[in-house]
Amino acid sequence: MSSLAEVARHAGVSKATASRALSGAAHVSDATRARVAASAAELGFVASTSAASLVTGRTRNVGVVTPFISRWFFGEVIEGIEEALIDAGYDLSLFRVQEDPDLRQRVFDYFLVRKRVDAVITVCVALSPEEIRALAALGKPVVGIGGGIAGMSSLRIDDVAASRLATEHLLSLGHQRILHVGGDQEERMDFHVHAQRLAGFRQAMATAGHRPGDDFAAATEFTIAGGFATGLRVLGNPATRPSAIVAASDEVAIGVILAARQLGIQVPRDLSVVGIDDHDLAEMFGLTTVRQVPRAQGRDAVGMIMASIDAREITSHDLQLPLTLRVRSSTSAPQPD
- Beta-strand ranges (E) seen in 67-177 are 91-96, 119-123, 142-145, 153-157
**Of residues 224-253, those binding DNA (CB under 7 A):** none
123 touches DNA (CB under 7 A): no
26 interacts with DNA by CB under 7 A: yes
DSSP letter at 211? -
Q: Would you say 57 or 264 has its CB closer to DNA?
A: 57
Residue type, 195: A
Contacts (CB under 7 A) with DNA, residues 34-63: 45, 47-48, 51-52, 54-56
Compute the CA torsion angle 265, 256, 206, 240 (nearest 10 deg): 40
Cα 8 to chain centroid, rounded: 44
89 or 129: CB nearest its own copies: 89
Kindly indicate which of the ranges 11-19, 83-91, 94-102, 133-141 contains the residues binding DNA, using the contact rule CB under 7 A. 11-19
Q: Is 94 in the site for DNA (CB under 7 A)?
A: no
Question: Which residue among 25, 69, 311, 327 contacts DNA (CB under 7 A)?
Answer: 25
**Least distance (Å) from its own copies to the CB of residue 114?**
5
**Residue 224 contacts by C-beta under 8 Å, 6 or more apart in sequence?**
251, 252, 254, 255, 258
Distance CA 37, CA 42 (A): 9
116 contacts DNA (rule: CB under 7 A): no
Tell me the one-letter amino acid at 31. A
Positions that interact with its own copies (CB under 8 A): 46-51, 53-54, 59, 61, 69-72, 74-76, 78-79, 82-83, 86, 91-96, 103, 106-107, 110-111, 113-116, 223-225, 228, 258, 261, 280-281, 283-284
3-state secondary structure of 218: strand
Nearest to 273 by CA among 206, 331, 227: 331
Residue 228 binding partner per list its own copies, DNA, none, with a CB distance cut-off of 5 to 8 Å that depends on partner kind: its own copies
Binding of DNA by 31 (CB under 7 A): yes
17 touches DNA by CB under 7 A:
yes
In the chain, the N- to C-terminal Cα span, in Å, equals 78
CA distances from 254 to 53, 90, 109, 209, 243 (A): 47, 36, 39, 28, 16
- Least separation, in Å, of the C-beta of 39 and DNA? 12
Stretch that binds DNA, among 4-12, 181-189, 237-245, 251-259 (CB under 7 A): 4-12
Q: Which residues in this chain contact DNA in the complex, by CB under 7 A?
A: 3-5, 12-17, 19-20, 22-23, 25-29, 31-32, 45, 47-48, 51-52, 54-56
